[in-house]
Copies of this chain bind each other. A is one copy, B any other.
Amino acid sequence: MVDMICDYYSTVGQQRVKPGVEPGFLRGQLPASPPEQPEAFEDVLRDVQEKLMPGVVHWQSPSFFAYFPSNTSFPAALADMWAGALSMIGFSWAASPVSTELEMAMMDWLAELCGLPAAFRCNGGAGPGGGVIQGTTSEAVLVALLAARARALRGRVQADKLRLVAYSSDQAHSCFRKACMVAGVDHVRMLPTSAEHNWELQPEVLQAAIDADLAAGLLPCFVMATIGTTSSCAVDPVARLAPVAARRVSNGLGRAGGCGAWLHVDAAYAGAAALLPEQRSAHFGDLGAVDSYSFNPHKWLLVNFDCCALWVADAGPLKEALSLTPVFLQATGNALDYKDWQIPLGRRFRSLKLYFVLRMYGAEKLRAYLRHHIALAAAFAAALQADPRFELAAPQRFGLVCFRLRDVPRQVNAALLEAVNASGRLLIIHTELGGAYTLRLAVGSASTQLEHVEAAWEVIKGAADQVLRQHAERTAAEAPAAVPARA
């Protein structure tokens, strides 16, 4: 298996990034029932290669530029093997002391690397805040919302939960809306953004929405800002949104009983860039007034999926929302029970991946790795801007470049995406920005080098030649038809 994995990594760059299979491709190739008798490992591996691999999208290809990256590394894979071998289910300190304590330590290491506020440190469980590893950002946002809900409903009647409101920009990840659905928060405001402000949520827009909701008798409860949106890597101005979110809403029990809206920052992809001082000062600003913050080392920090880092400045509301243990019985300090910080009871020993990655790369190499990708994205953006047929659809941020052919109908850009991906030589996806069809190229696969970005640009230029020629031909062919037939 180790050989197979090494072979895979050494050849994945030559394979079609996206397979040509159609829905249902696999079903007829598998027996309808599982076997009664054992089958040989070699037979299973042969079927993996012959039947399963043709249906794989190669997220580890150096020419995978779709979605956001899903980094893997040998240190993380080795750690995962060991974690799987142990298979401790570390829901409580007692069930697996080392899982709990290494997780606290690694979340502190990561907080330090990212320059996060001191309030987010576990400090061995001594403080009110701390970090926890969730599976995905969806779970991190959901537990942050549940904490927000618990805090907002303190001293209130249950019916008040019908009045809760959650806010984000219209660029926020879909997990924001999904979390609201799950938590039963019915009033969801996805506030408008615009090209003029680079798709960033403006404080005055949030302010106006909160004012309107307060006037209507609703309860602002949760604000999610994003650093690095999925569509365009827009960066909401967190430090300027914080005072707007923090406006205290009385619960009728006096000032002490009310609270402002909980401010969560979703930096799922871009959070890795906080390791770089220059990116931190440019895009992360002052996070001191943030209630919770999350990013995914499994995207762009060489930690295999899944590993989402979530920090809270005060874990109290989180435990109110998620612990079944009365507060006076809850473990504290080093004996904290992470089951009270997440939805599932069971949990894998995921901190070991962070431990291996942070030690075997070291901070300096990780920074170089991130700068390398950002430089590749900048190189792609520069090439694109030198070609007058193209335009950037948003400022290049982190490893993401959003672009389109200028002055053409949207179906020409859609045809461009299709032609690029049909080549099999790279994979990109599209998004919508202000209603405009936009292609996005996200640099960040662990093995991506300049040659891959240059090759991608060549494919894109060639596909542009083709679709623009077809567009010109079609326009020419249609032009006479625009003259009324009877004229």
B343 x A4 contact (CB < 8 A): no
The reply on A24 being an interface residue by CB < 8 A is yes
Using an 8 Å CB-CB cutoff, how does the interface string of A44-59 with B read, 1 for contact, 0 for none?
1000100011111111
**A340 closest partner in B (C-beta):** B178
Q: A133-141, A232-240, A287-295: which one contacts chain B?
A: A133-141
The reply on A457 being an interface residue by CB < 8 A is no
B105 x A181 contact (CB < 8 A): no
B59 x A86 contact (CB < 8 A): yes
The reply on A468 being an interface residue by CB < 8 A is no
Q: How far is the CB of A369 from chain B (nearest CB, A)?
A: 12
Using an 8 Å CB-CB cutoff, how does the interface string of A2-46 with B read, 1 for contact, 0 for none?
101100110000000001010111110010111111111101100
CB contacts (< 8 Å) of A113 on chain B: these are 34
The reply on A169 being an interface residue by CB < 8 A is no
The reply on A78 being an interface residue by CB < 8 A is yes
Using an 8 Å CB-CB cutoff, how does the interface string of A328-354 with B read, 1 for contact, 0 for none?
000001110000000111101000100
Q: How far is the CB of A429 from chain B (nearest CB, A)?
A: 9
The CA of A423 and the CA of B215, in the complex, are separated in Å by: 65
A87 x B305 contact (CB < 8 A): yes
A360 x B41 contact (CB < 8 A): yes
The reply on A89 being an interface residue by CB < 8 A is yes
Using an 8 Å CB-CB cutoff, how does the interface string of A171-204 with B read, 1 for contact, 0 for none?
0011101100111101000000000000000000
A181 x B85 contact (CB < 8 A): no
CB contacts (< 8 Å) of A306 on chain B: these are 346, 348
The CA of A27 and the CA of B21, in the complex, are separated in Å by: 50
B96 x A56 contact (CB < 8 A): yes
B343 x A138 contact (CB < 8 A): yes
The reply on A378 being an interface residue by CB < 8 A is no
Interface pairs (25), CB distance under 8 Å: A4-B82, A5-B81, A34-B109, A34-B112, A34-B358, A34-B359, A38-B361, A38-B362, A39-B359, A41-B78, A44-B359, A55-B97, A56-B97, A56-B98, A57-B94, A80-B81, A81-B81, A136-B344, A158-B186, A174-B345, A178-B322, A181-B322, A182-B182, A184-B184, A343-B343
Top 4 nearest A-B pairs (CB, nearest first) are A55-B98, A23-B334, A26-B101, A24-B334
